[in-house]
Each structure stands twice: as structure tokens, then as C-alpha cells.
Amino acid sequence: GGIITQTPKFLIGQEGQKLTLKCQQNFNHDTMYWYRQDSGKGLRLIYYSITENDLQKGDLSEGYDASREKKSSFSLTVTSAQKNEMAVFLCASSRLGGREEQYFGPGTRLTVL
Amino acid sequence: GDSVTQTEGLVTLTKGLPVMLNCTYQTTYSPFLFWYVQHLNEAPKLLLKSSTDNKRTEHQGFYATLHKSSSSFHLQKSSVQLSDSALYFCALSDQAGSALGRLHFGAGTQLIVIP
């Protein structure tokens, strides 16, 4: 088994601030993902990475940057936080890609004042 | 492009009744479909998956059959329990046979089971 760790668990930011979210996995999975989930709604893919140093844009990449520093870690940066924004950011990983089960982390809850 | 449609945003049912959550998809590749479940304040988890036409897949009392003829992968259970209350996502894998693929998620169906 393995685990996905996301830090921080809660993130409060100010409008216009640059905010970074971190994700670590010990599954030794190749592919990692960042999703945004608005309250009670679906998952929207922001970025994903097939291997270390790879980066692929998802459907919601505008306003975000991502970095896959090493196989086990994948970070997401909100480049300029929007006022009153509230969402949960979920990190996930899978063994090879789209046809494999994705394992999700517990999420980072973002609130922008 | 690839897409998934879940027509019901909210389904409310009394305990013990059967349920069917709809999922239809569009893809130009050979489809690989998933159902994920997310309980309140938890991470989504895989419930079941399939790529085989007309074969029923089951897990934890839930079942689904991929029908390529109708591009559907509906989730069913014969008798819902209070613990089944959760958000259910249907998802489609693209890039058939490739490691480069990603999932396309539907908007989700919130299932609420009442006593």
C-alpha cells in the first residue's frame, strides 16, 4: 500500500497572492495529477505529469503553474489568488496513466479573503 | 473530444430501494470507464471499472455494465443503504492503450439515502 500526503491541509490567502500547494506519494507511481473541486461539484483537471520533469496541461491550467521536481512529488502554484475563491485541490497518482486506478490525497482547502 | 455526461445532479432515495445512476460517454477510442465514490470530507475512491462490452462488473454491492452500442455505463444497486450516501463520479479514460492518458470526469451525482 501507499499514501498521498498533501500540505497544507488548509490554506488561507489574500487576493493577488501567489500560493503553493504540495503533494507527495510513496506508491512509486509514474503519473500524478492536480484537480480542483468546487463545493459538491465535479473534478476539473488542472495539470498532470507522466514522469519526473514532465508537465501536461489539463482543462483548467490558466492561473496555475505546476512542477514535478521528482517522481514522488508534484507541486501546484496558484499564480494570483482570486478574491472570495473557495475550493478543494486534490492530488492524485496512478501507476501508468489513464487506464490505471487513481489514488487521491485528502485535499487542500483554499480560502481567499 | 472525449466527454462524460451524468444527467442527475441529485438523487434522493429511501433506504432499501434500488438505484441507477446514469452515465453516458463520447470517445473516438476504445472506452475504459470508471466509477469513483466520494463520501463527505473524504477523498474519491475507485468503486469499479470496465472496458469489456456487455460484461457486468460488481463491487461492494454496486454493479455496472459497459454497453458500447449505447455508450453507457450506468451504476446500479439493488438495495441502497444509508452508508451509500455520497458523491458518485463516472470517468472515461482517453488515449486507448497509452500510458499518456488522463481521465475525463462527469459532473457527479449526489446520492442521498434517507431512512
Q: What is the CATH number of the domain that holds A79?
A: 2.60.40.10
How many distinct structural domains can be found in chain A? 1
Residues in chain B: 115
What pLDDT does residue A27 have? Answer: 95
As to burial, measured by CB atoms within 10 angstroms (0-12 exposed, 13-18 middle, 19+ buried), residue B70 is exposed
Q: Which residue has the cell 433506504?
A: B15
More confident site: A57 or A1: A57
C-alpha grid cell, residue B14: 429511501
Q: Which domain holds residue B85?
A: 3-114
A54 to chain B: nearest residue by CA?
A: B100
B31 cis-preceded (ω within 30 degrees of 0): no
Verify whether the Cβ–Cβ distance B32 to A96 is below 8 Å. no
As to burial, measured by CB atoms within 10 angstroms (0-12 exposed, 13-18 middle, 19+ buried), residue A113 is exposed
Distance CA B108, CA B98 (A): 26
pLDDT 10s per residue in chain B (115 long)? 889 999 999 999 999 999 999 999 999 888 899 999 999 989 999 999 999 999 999 999 999 999 999 999 999 999 999 999 999 999 998 765 555 678 899 999 999 999 9
**Is residue B11 less than 8 Å (CB to CB) from chain A?**
no
Task: Label residues A36-50 b or e (16+ Cβ within 10 Å = b).
Answer: bbeeeebbbbbbbbb
* Phi and psi at residue B69, to the nearest 5°: -65, -30
**Is residue B35 less than 8 Å (CB to CB) from chain A?**
no
Verify whether the Cβ–Cβ distance B89 to A99 is below 8 Å. no
C-alpha grid cell, residue A11: 490554506
Q: Which domain holds residue A32?
A: 4-112
Verify whether the Cβ–Cβ distance A41 to B106 is below 8 Å. no
Strand partners, B111: B11, B86
pLDDT digits (tens, 9 = 90+) for A10-45: 999 999 999 999 999 999 999 999 999 988 778 999
**Is residue B40 less than 8 Å (CB to CB) from chain A?**
no
Q: Which residues of A touch B45 (CB under 8 A)?
A: 104
A96, pLDDT greater than 90: no
Distance CA A75, CA A71 (A): 11
pLDDT band at A100; cut points 50, 70, 90: confident
- Can you give the CATH number for the domain in which B99 is found? 2.60.40.10
Nearest to B99 among A41, A45, A96 (CB): A96
Distance CA B71, CA B25 (A): 6
Give the dihedral of Cα atoms A64, A32, A57, B22; nearest 10 deg: -100
Nearest to B100 among A41, A50, A90 (CB): A50
- Chain A contact residues (CB < 8 Å to B): 30-31, 33, 40-45, 48, 50, 56, 58, 90, 96-99, 101-102, 104-107
Nearest to B95 among A33, A43, A98 (CB): A98
Integer angstrom CA distances of residue B5 from B39, B69, B72, B90: 21, 16, 10, 8
A107 to chain B: nearest residue by CA?
A: B43
Distance CA A109, CA A86 (A): 7
How many distinct structural domains can be found in chain B? 1
Strand partners, B26: B3
What pLDDT does residue A37 have? Answer: 93
